[in-house]
């Protein structure tokens, strides 16, 4: 979380370039943003100073009002420590206002560091953990009687970084030298190398517009960017030879086109994403199936929406391939990893490839010698680079914070892989193509008008429940997450069998309960659950191929065996989107409190 962008070189519109870079990184956080640049002073006594601008809210069409400069850093924030205020937004400065710092991560020991710094007379303007860092640099320089010139800044930055705990990426500039200092542990930082200039950013997307020569900063590495790039190893600062990669990655910067929101556009892109996987992923899924076959213990990992893809995978591998494939939420895997051996296969699933709760357990799995085969959407992301084998999901740039097409891509790849394991790849391809066709039908106005009507009908409801069994349990969980994050309505998904173990107490007259009912072995049981809900006044909406008398409303899909999950999920995405609009939510692409890439624990 939080996006960082910095520039040092010959161009004099640093602030404009940084703003443009931050706009591309806004998916990492969008509650506030700020930029600091080094500016030549008109005052004969002071050569240069740092000009700073900070704003609360999304960047949108904002412009910056900073003087010409060839050195600067910027930040778009997702708050961890301290509320969403101008004071808490980055960059943060030291007491002299000569050092500016931007940060992604959490300085876990900031409180003790702050106490010491306060005792030494430093004053703090924000509630953030970040603010200790510029003061640590300042304190080091003061205590040694050094200045920012020469080795001063480099050494002070290195020693300050060595003092902090946690998973962090920190970038700093100062008013006296033409240098950027950067270091990381955990959170990503990427360096762009061009003629007489350097870029630093949280991900390659912001940099590739300027240069395709990239250095991926590794954990516990520090870099000084000025006239040259100087890479060192922390904590001691031994020189390292930087590996400059020439990338041929192309990132499209998606546009909304005819759609009002990216969310709706991305929902509409799903038939194409699913068909692409059906038609072009034969070799990749064969390789993945082989790795699963050869492994002794396979673990699917994911967070949020990707975790529901993983859960779906567990059911799917069991029903199609008769294989036990384990599943864990990424953040819980640390407590389960004791099972891992060099024979294990870990399959992390992630749209961004930057989720810390995936990146960290994958690192640990690698330390244990396990193989990592990832399903990842973002080319060049940390997970992409960590993996021994990767299947790129091919969903294209997903701009809306709410995952839609990345989820259908994840389950399509898992679907094809499970069938491939039992040599039925052709059957799976045809089923996926039928799913893509069905989604096309659902996206037509003739169909969506029913979903819109339902969204209006339920616009004042405070609770929505969704029940499913077997594979559809994962569908129920994913559908409720879409509703929660898009509409802020309380929604819960349950396994139908859990109803009588407590959940049924929540049902009142008129409570909307969606029933995910594919035409499989769960049908009779989930319909019985629907009857039990209806007997207590619940209002039942069935989603699936088979109608039942218990349904008060029915949203029909084709019957495409296990792939029925695809049209069912798309219906829930559309319902969430239209419910958000009917509740007056203006920007469903960027729901409150969320970020597209979750890089803090």
Asked if 598 interacts with ligand F6R (CB under 6 A), we say: yes
Between 80 and 352, CB nearer to ligand F6R: 352
Between 386 and 434, CB nearer to ligand F6R: 386
Binding segment for ligand F6R (CB under 6 A), chosen from 166-174, 194-202, 299-307, 555-563, is: 299-307
Query: b or e along 369-396 (b: 16 or more beta carbons within 10 Å of the residue's beta carbon)?
Result: ebbbbbbbbbbbbbbbbbbeebbbbbbb
Cβ of residue 587: shortest distance to ligand F6R, in angstroms? 15
Cβ of residue 531: shortest distance to ligand F6R, in angstroms? 32
Q: Binding ligand F6R by CB under 6 A: which of 403, 545, 567, 588?
A: 403
Q: Are 344 and 297 in contact (CB under 8 A)?
A: yes
Placement of tokens 């190893």 in the chain: 233
Rounded to 5 degrees, what angle do the CA atoms 508, 513, 515 make? Answer: 145
Q: Binding ligand F6R by CB under 6 A: which of 172, 306, 550, 566?
A: 306
Active site residue 2: yes
Between 15 and 378, CB nearer to ligand F6R: 378
Element (H, E) at 364: helix 356-367
Asked if 275 interacts with ligand F6R (CB under 6 A), we say: no
Q: Binding ligand F6R by CB under 6 A: which of 358, 395, 533, 550?
A: 358
Cβ of residue 196: shortest distance to ligand F6R, in angstroms? 35
Q: Which residues, 462 to 491, sit near ligand F6R by CB under 6 A?
A: 481, 485
Asked if 305 interacts with ligand F6R (CB under 6 A), we say: yes
Asked if 402 interacts with ligand F6R (CB under 6 A), we say: yes
Residues near ligand F6R (CB under 6 A), total: 14
Q: How far, in Å, CA of 67 to CA of 173, rounded?
A: 16
Between 149 and 593, CB nearer to ligand F6R: 593
Cβ of residue 397: shortest distance to ligand F6R, in angstroms? 13
Between 305 and 370, CB nearer to ligand F6R: 305
- Assign 542 to helix, strand or coil: strand
Q: Are 81 and 208 in contact (CB under 8 A)?
A: no
* Given the residues 227, 303, 596, 601, the one annotated as active site: 596
Cβ of residue 402: shortest distance to ligand F6R, in angstroms? 4
Cβ of residue 572: shortest distance to ligand F6R, in angstroms? 11
* Given the residues 2, 54, 405, 482, the one annotated as active site: 2
Residues 6+ apart with CB under 8 A from 179: 8, 71, 153, 154, 173, 224, 225, 226
CB atoms within 10 A of CB 99: 30
Binding segment for ligand F6R (CB under 6 A), chosen from 159-167, 298-306, 387-395, 460-468, is: 298-306
Q: Which of 76, 86, 101 is nearest to 153 (CA)?
A: 101
Between 9 and 591, CB nearer to ligand F6R: 591
Instruction: Look up residue 254 and give its two tokens.
Output: 């998606």
Asked if 303 interacts with ligand F6R (CB under 6 A), we say: yes
Cβ of residue 394: shortest distance to ligand F6R, in angstroms? 14
| Full strand arrangement of the beta sheet holding 197-201 | 48-56, 32-40, 71-77, 3-8, 197-201, 190-194, 213-216, 245-246
Active site residue 437: no
Query: b or e along 509-539 (b: 16 or more beta carbons within 10 Å of the residue's beta carbon)?
Result: eebbbbbbbbebebbeebbebbebbbeeebb
Q: How far, in Å, CA of 186 to CA of 41, rounded?
A: 37
Q: Which residues, 337 to 356, sit near ligand F6R by CB under 6 A?
A: 350-352, 355
Cβ of residue 304: shortest distance to ligand F6R, in angstroms? 2
Per DSSP, the residues of 218-249 read PTTEEEEESSSEEEEETTTTEEE----EE---
Between 304 and 518, CB nearer to ligand F6R: 304
Residues designated as active site: 2, 596
Instruction: Give the footprint of ligand F6R on this chain (CB under 6 A).
Output: 303-306, 350-352, 355, 358, 402-403, 481, 485, 598
């Amino acid at each position: 979380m939080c996006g960082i962008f910095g520039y040092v070189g010959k161009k004099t519109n640093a602030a404009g370039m940084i703003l443009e870079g931050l706009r591309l990184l806004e998916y990492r956080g969008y509650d506030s943003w700020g930029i600091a640049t080094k500016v030549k002073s008109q005052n004969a006594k002071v050569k240069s100073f740092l000009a700073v601008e900070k704003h609360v809210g999304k960047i949108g069409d904002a412009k910056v009002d900073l003087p010409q400069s060839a050195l600067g850093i910027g930040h778009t924030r997702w708050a961890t420590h301290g509320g969403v205020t101008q004071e808490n937004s980055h960059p943060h400065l030291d007491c002299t206002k000569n050092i500016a710092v931007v940060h992604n991560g959490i300085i876990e020991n900031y409180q003790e560091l702050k106490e010491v710094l306060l005792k030494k007379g430093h004053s703090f303007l924000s509630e953030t953990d970040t603010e200790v860092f510029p003061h640590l640099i300042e304190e080091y320089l003061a205590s040694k009687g050094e200045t920012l010139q020469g080795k001063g800044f480099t050494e002070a930055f290195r020693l300050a970084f060595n003092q902090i705990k946690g998973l962090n990426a920190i970038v700093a500039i100062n008013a006296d030298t033409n240098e950027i200092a950067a270091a990381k542990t955990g959170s990503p930082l990427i360096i762009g190398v061009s003629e007489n200039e350097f870029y630093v950013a949280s991900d390659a997307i912001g940099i590739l517009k300027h240069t395709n020569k990239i250095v991926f900063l590794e954990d516990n590495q520090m870099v000084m960017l000025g006239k040259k790039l100087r890479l060192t190893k922390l904590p001691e600062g031994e020189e390292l030879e930087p590996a400059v990669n020439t990338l041929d990655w192309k990132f499209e910067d998606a546009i909304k086109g005819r759609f009002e929101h990216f969310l709706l556009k991305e929902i509409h892109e799903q038939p194409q994403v699913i068909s692409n996987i059906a038609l072009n992923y034969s070799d990749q899924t064969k390789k993945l199936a082989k790795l699963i076959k050869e492994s002794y213990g396979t673990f699917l990992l994911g967070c949020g929406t990707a975790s529901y893809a993983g859960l779906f995978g567990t059911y799917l591998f069991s029903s199609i391939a008769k294989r036990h494939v384990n599943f864990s939420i990424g953040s819980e895997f640390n407590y389960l990893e004791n099972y891992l051996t060099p024979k294990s296969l870990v399959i992390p699933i992630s749209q961004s490839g930057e989720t810390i709760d995936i990146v960290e357990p994958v690192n640990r799995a690698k330390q244990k010698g396990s193989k990592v085969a990832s399903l990842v959407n973002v080319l060049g992301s940390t997970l992409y680079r960590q993996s021994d084998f990767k299947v790129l999901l091919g969903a294209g740039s997903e701009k809306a914070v709410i995952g839609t097409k990345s989820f259908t891509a994840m389950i399509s790849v898992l679907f094809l892989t499970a069938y491939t394991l039992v040599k039925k790849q052709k059957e799976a391809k045809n089923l996926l193509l039928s799913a893509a066709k069905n989604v096309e039908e659902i996206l037509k106005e003739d169909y969506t008008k029913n979903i819109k009507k339902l969204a209006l009908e339920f616009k004042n409801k405070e609770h929505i429940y969704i029940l499913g069994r077997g594979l559809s349990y994962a569908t129920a969980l994913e559908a409720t997450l879409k509703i929660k994050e898009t509409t802020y309505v309380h929604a819960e998904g349950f396994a139908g069998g859990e109803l009588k173990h407590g959940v049924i107490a929540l049902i009142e007259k008129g409570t909307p309960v969606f029933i995910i009912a594919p035409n499989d072995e769960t049908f009779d049981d989930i319909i019985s659950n629907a009857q039990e809900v209806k007997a207590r006044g619940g209002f039942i909406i069935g989603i699936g191929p088979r109608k039942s008398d218990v349904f008060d409303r029915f949203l029909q899909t084709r019957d495409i065996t296990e792939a029925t999950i695809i049209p069912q999920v798309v219906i829930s995405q559309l319902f969430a989107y239209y419910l958000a609009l009917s509740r007056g939510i203006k920007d469903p692409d960027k729901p409150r409190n969320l970020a597209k890439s979750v890089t803090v624990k």
